[in-house]
Structure 1
Amino acid sequence: MPSFDIVSKTDFGEIDNALQNVEREIAQRYDFKGSRCTIERKEQEITINADDELKLKQMHELLQGHLARRKVDPGVLDYKEPEKAAGQSVRQKVAIRQGIDKDLGKRIVKEIKGSGLKVQVAIQGDELRVSGKKRDDLQAAIQFVRGLDIEQPLQYENFRD
């Protein structure tokens, strides 16, 4: 019986490379001269420290641009609320999404079952297994899930006949 998996994986090596490029650009840019703006990653969280809101927005744009160059979808970033740090400086935590959480998995299963496609969907930890009798049904399921409004990037892998 043909099947495939819906997963959400993030390449942390590429994220580290993008962060190093952002740090290098911050050190060289004229508008960041003399500022104490930093960006660092620990586990699945990025911490951005900026002098003010304007520099924080510029760092967001830099980060998203460098991620796009590295072929990492900026949708993997989950920005938390910025918080005040010492003086006028601002700190923001950014979570890196990895895997499909239960709520999103249940929503995708419900949408696929409601679509009338002749496939079965099973939640297996942080990924979904979709199986059906025909390969065309599975390809229709992939197109259907791509059409859903999901901000987290998904990959379709392990396609078996």
Structure 2
Amino acid sequence: MPSLDVVSTVDMQAMDNAVNNAKRDLGNRYDFKNSKYELELNRKDKAIEIVAEDEFKLKAVIETLIQQCVRFKLDSKCLDIADSHTVSLGAAKTEIKIKDGLTKETASKITKFIKSTKLKLDSAIQGEQIRITGKQIDDLQEIMRLLSEQDFDVPLQYVNMKR
């Protein structure tokens, strides 16, 4: 029986490249000359910490980071941007969590959606992935199309498709 796995993963090397390119781009910008900002990727915690002189520069750093993520083919849905708060001397700080893996809530939403499509498919949650099996490969391709059209707040990838 044909099957495929639905996962949500983030390539941390591509994220590291996006952060480094964002740092380089910000270093070349005129409005960031002689201004202090920090943009650090914590691979272990899967988080990005940003500190800038003020809210305007903080938003500019976030926009530049998102542009670089798109450039490296990383979906911006994988970034969970927290509200910024003020630290000493008017500097603004925020932390961006990187969403990696499917949560149980998201996985159950996806399986409910698959069942509501009335396609002849079985879905099972296996840790941080969903295994979808069916009798026809066309049904699997159709569910891939339908899942791509939906918004589940995480980027979805389809891997391990077997005929």
Q: Same fold (TM over 0.5)?
A: yes
Shift of 1:73: 1.3
What is residue 124 of structure 1 aligned with on the other side? 126
Matches within 5 A, 1:1-161: 1-42=1-42, 43=44, 44-161=46-163
Aligned residues: 161
Distance 1:101 1:123 in 2: 10
Output the amino acid matched with 1:9: T
Percent identity reads: 37
Q: Which runs of 5+ in 1 are unaligned?
A: none
Distance 2:150 2:74 in 1: 20
Comparing 33-42 with 143-152, greater Cα deviation is found at 143-152
Q: With structure 1 as the length reference, what TM-score do the two structures score?
A: 0.96
SS at match of 1:26: helix
Q: Which runs of 4+ in 1 moved over 2 A?
A: none
Output the amino acid matched with 1:29: R
Q: With structure 2 as the length reference, what TM-score do the two structures score?
A: 0.95
Q: Which runs of 5+ in 2 are unaligned?
A: none
Output the amino acid matched with 1:25: D
Shift of 1:150: 2.1
Distance 2:138 2:22 in 1: 43
Shift of 1:155: 0.4
- Cα displacement string for residues 56-111 of structure 1 (whole angstroms, at most 9, x for unaligned residues): 11111100111111111111100011121111101100000101111000000011
